[in-house]
Amino acid sequence: MYYYIFNYLLTLKIACRMNCTRIGLRYYYSTSPFNQRILLLKNAPKVDDALQLFDEMLQRQPPPSIFQFTQLISVIVKMKQYSTALKLFEQMRLMGVPVSILTMNISINCYCRLNQVAYGFALLATLFKQGYSPSLATYSTLINGLVLADRVFEAVELFKKLLRDKLCDPDQVMYGTVINGLCKVGHTSKAIQLLTFMESGSCKPCVEQYSVVIDSLCKDKMVDHALELFAKMTEKGVLADVITYNSLIHGLCNFGRETEAANMLRDMEEVGVSPTVATFNILVNSFCKQGSVKDAEIAVQEMARRGLCPNVITYSALMDGYCLRGEIDEAEKVLNGMMEKDLAPNIITYNSLINGYCKKKQIDKARHLFQEIQDKGLIPDVITYNSMLQGLFESGNPAAARERFNKMQAKGLAPNIYTYRILLHGMCKNSQCSDALALFRSLESKELMEDVGLYNILIDGCNKCGKPNLAVDLFDKLLLKGLKPDVRTYTVMISVHCQQGLFGKAKELLRNMEEKGCLANSVTYNVIVKEFLKEKAFEEAEILLKEMISRGFSPDSTTFEMLLNQIPSTRQDSPIQTIIQKLTNIK
DNA sequence: GTAGGGTTAG
């Protein structure tokens, strides 16, 4: 203890004598007893340990340098404990540890991450009052805060103002922040303009800025443009890093271009960029989504072979893959496997399983798990509730579903569009279409009221509940609102007309929809053919059947059965018999 | 060698 104090005083003395605080600080820093522990925390962050260390540092006399406090709090920020970090700054302030522009910037960042960008700007004002001048990082942090709060327009305005008033000279980070904001709201072309602007100026874009745009292009389904930009940056001598490659691999996988994704993986390794756990997770997830969990398992083995540890994302993707195939036992095995490895499943992990149980109508297991995860301290989110609602409806318990929906709202969880789709669909299916309509009318959110999917559910529901007039009303309302009916809407309406015996209207709608650029699909044809068969309007059915087959659609199993059973044997020579013959041979 | 921006799961 005395040794350290003595050492500290000595270094200060040396520093003063040399009139160079930097050397003093550096010496103190390297011999500090806290230094080692901060370093340890940086490598293996633990909140409790960090807080303990902070207390010790705060009590130490003389207090450690602001440098070390900042380092420690940065560790806490990296752990996303923003509120904690802010509290620690407050404690430091109360103890009289001086603040700096650095601590201010970190505080502003914490407020921004907590979605309290207004407090960030308040701190900026304080900063001015105390005579500090904001740094480039201060402004970048605030711009990013606006982006995080989905206020990209204001972020861009702030950026423009900084340029216009020459308040700062933007660096790569600031450009990157703005480019990221533009991409986030889908203005990728504006982001590309800014990137081009950078290329022509003195602050050249680096891999970070290119990666943001490449990722955004991939998400905009413009993978080829992304590949072009990737080629361009390489030409300019900017080397792609693992994030660039991950974005491209993700983009290729999303559009079924797995072979190219595999080539990309090979390429990156050839140029010395090592794939990470994230790279493999992208592949694992892609395989799982397509239903080939076997390939996903091979990818997991491959990552393990390279010494990369599968994480909670890897296992959750695998579980989801198995659940999608209905292989819940396998999903349970994966869950047990990850827990044996001391990996904590999160709400997304459990959502896969709950959804799996619900889809398999094992509602009791789903209910049990729903309770169990809450006992473990996990909080069900809107997706958990959506799965439960669907499961409850499908297991024939609409009352329990309604109750669960009420509970969800009481907990302050906002239902999303899927919640309402599930709810209205479930209610209609249980002959509660009046209730469903009442609920729909009570919706206040404009966004929800303009969801064609909800209209489809209600129109279909009213029709099946024997209220075709209400279905027609809804369709008119939808058109009146200027919403665009999709193929499902038209298909349901065709079915509505047929059931009312208005076959002329049904056929007219079939032509109408195509004129409006909405192509009929296999379901549309099956619906209308079945209705004609029900009415024994064989000639009409025949014409449509030929039309659908010529367009590459085929009758579904019920249509096929109706054809077999209903076509009178007297019409052996009819084209429809030939079709049946052909189809029977295929089957 | 302390602060600000980019990739992965339902």
Q: Tens digit of pLDDT for each residue in A287-309?
A: 999 999 999 999 999 999 999 99
Residue closest to sugar C1' of B1 by CA: A26
Separation between the CA of A169 and the C1’ of B4 (whole angstroms): 14
User: Hey, how many other C-beta atoms are within 10 angstroms of the C-beta on A340?
Assistant: 8
Last residue of a domain, one of A484, A516, A548: A516
Separation between the CA of A375 and the C1’ of B10 (whole angstroms): 21
Q: Which residues lie closer than 8 Å to A178 by C-beta, 6 or more apart? A: A143, A155, A156, A159, A194
Closest to A179 (Cα-Cα) out of A151, A149, A145, A216: A216
Residue closest to sugar C1' of B10 by CA: A348
Task: State the pLDDT confidence band at A39, using cuts at 50, 70 and 90.
Answer: confident
**Judgement on whether residues A536 and A455 belong to the same structural domain of the protein:** no
Q: Is residue A545 part of a domain?
A: yes
Residues A340-353 pLDDT 10s:
999 999 999 999 99
The CATH number of the domain holding residue A486 is 1.25.40.10
Separation between the CA of A407 and the C1’ of B6 (whole angstroms): 39
Closest to A28 (Cα-Cα) out of A18, A43, A13: A13
For residue A235, the one-letter residue type is: E
Task: Return d(Cα A329, Cα A276) in angstroms, integer.
Answer: 29
Task: State the pLDDT confidence band at A15, using cuts at 50, 70 and 90.
Answer: very low
Domain count, chain A: 2
**Judgement on whether residues A425 and A508 belong to the same structural domain of the protein:** yes
Q: Which residues lie closer than 8 Å to A400 by C-beta, 6 or more apart? A: A392
Q: How many alpha carbons fall within 13 Å on the CB side of residue A237?
A: 2
Residue closest to sugar C1' of B9 by CA: A313
**Judgement on whether residues A528 and A500 belong to the same structural domain of the protein:** no
Task: Return d(Cα A59, Cα A57) in angstroms, integer.
Answer: 5
Residues A109-149 pLDDT 10s:
999 999 999 999 999 999 999 899 999 999 999 999 999 99
Scanning every strand, the nucleotide with its C1' closest to A280's CA turns out to be B8
Task: State the pLDDT confidence band at A35, using cuts at 50, 70 and 90.
Answer: confident
Task: State the pLDDT confidence band at A17, using cuts at 50, 70 and 90.
Answer: very low
Task: Return d(Cα A463, Cα A482) in angstroms, integer.
Answer: 22
Q: Which of A50-59, A327-336, A422-431 has the lowest mean pLDDT?
A: A50-59
As a whole number, mean pLDDT of residues A576-584 equals 69
CA angle A83, A375, A405 (to 5 degrees): 90
pLDDT value of position A569: 59
Contact A542, A576 (CB under 8 A): yes
Q: Which of A21-30, A49-58, A165-174 has the lowest mean pLDDT?
A: A21-30
What tokens were used for A198? 């950078």
**Which DSSP letter does residue A571 get?**
G
pLDDT value of position A13: 36
pLDDT value of position A554: 87
Task: Return d(Cα A570, Cα A321) in angstroms, integer.
Answer: 51
Task: State the pLDDT confidence band at A23, using cuts at 50, 70 and 90.
Answer: very low
Task: Return d(Cα A398, Cα A396) in angstroms, integer.
Answer: 6
* Residue A508: domain span: 420-516
Q: Is residue A319 part of a domain?
A: no
Last residue of a domain, one of A516, A533, A567: A516
Task: Return d(Cα A178, Cα A155) in angstroms, integer.
Answer: 7
On average, the pLDDT of chain A sits at 89
As a whole number, mean pLDDT of residues A23-27 equals 41
Q: Which residues lie closer than 8 Å to A35 by C-beta, 6 or more apart? A: A29, A68
Scanning every strand, the nucleotide with its C1' closest to A381's CA turns out to be B10
3-state secondary structure of A373: helix
Percentage of residues in chain A with pLDDT exceeding 90? 67
pLDDT value of position A6: 33
**Judgement on whether residues A534 and A497 belong to the same structural domain of the protein:** no
Scanning every strand, the nucleotide with its C1' closest to A247's CA turns out to be B7
Scanning every strand, the nucleotide with its C1' closest to A73's CA turns out to be B2
pLDDT value of position A59: 87
CA angle A137, A140, A143 (to 5 degrees): 150
pLDDT value of position A3: 33
Q: Is residue A507 part of a domain?
A: yes
pLDDT value of position A575: 62
Integer-rounded Cα Rg, in Å, for chain A is 31
- The number of helices, as runs of H, and strands, as runs of E, in chain A is 35, 0
Separation between the CA of A413 and the C1’ of B6 (whole angstroms): 31
Residue keyed to tokens 């301290």: A377
**Judgement on whether residues A529 and A463 belong to the same structural domain of the protein:** no
Residue closest to sugar C1' of B2 by CA: A71
How many residues make up chain A in this entry?
587
**Judgement on whether residues A551 and A482 belong to the same structural domain of the protein:** no
Separation between the CA of A450 and the C1’ of B9 (whole angstroms): 29
What tokens were used for A255? 């559009």
Task: Return d(Cα A566, Cα A563) in angstroms, integer.
Answer: 5
Task: State the pLDDT confidence band at A453, using cuts at 50, 70 and 90.
Answer: very high
User: Hey, how many other C-beta atoms are within 10 angstroms of the C-beta on A231?
Assistant: 10
**Judgement on whether residues A510 and A525 belong to the same structural domain of the protein:** no
Task: State the pLDDT confidence band at A585, using cuts at 50, 70 and 90.
Answer: low
Q: Is residue A502 part of a domain?
A: yes
Scanning every strand, the nucleotide with its C1' closest to A175's CA turns out to be B5
Task: Return d(Cα A283, Cα A271) in angstroms, integer.
Answer: 20
**Judgement on whether residues A493 and A568 belong to the same structural domain of the protein:** no
Last residue of a domain, one of A516, A537, A561: A516
As a whole number, mean pLDDT of residues A60-68 equals 84
**Judgement on whether residues A495 and A533 belong to the same structural domain of the protein:** no
Scanning every strand, the nucleotide with its C1' closest to A316's CA turns out to be B9
pLDDT value of position A563: 83
Nucleotides on chain B that have an atom closer than 7 A to a protein CB are: 1-10
Tell whether the model's pLDDT for residue A26 goes beyond 70. Answer: no
Separation between the CA of A331 and the C1’ of B8 (whole angstroms): 20
**Judgement on whether residues A451 and A506 belong to the same structural domain of the protein:** yes
Separation between the CA of A108 and the C1’ of B4 (whole angstroms): 10
Tell whether the model's pLDDT for residue A196 goes beyond 90. Answer: yes
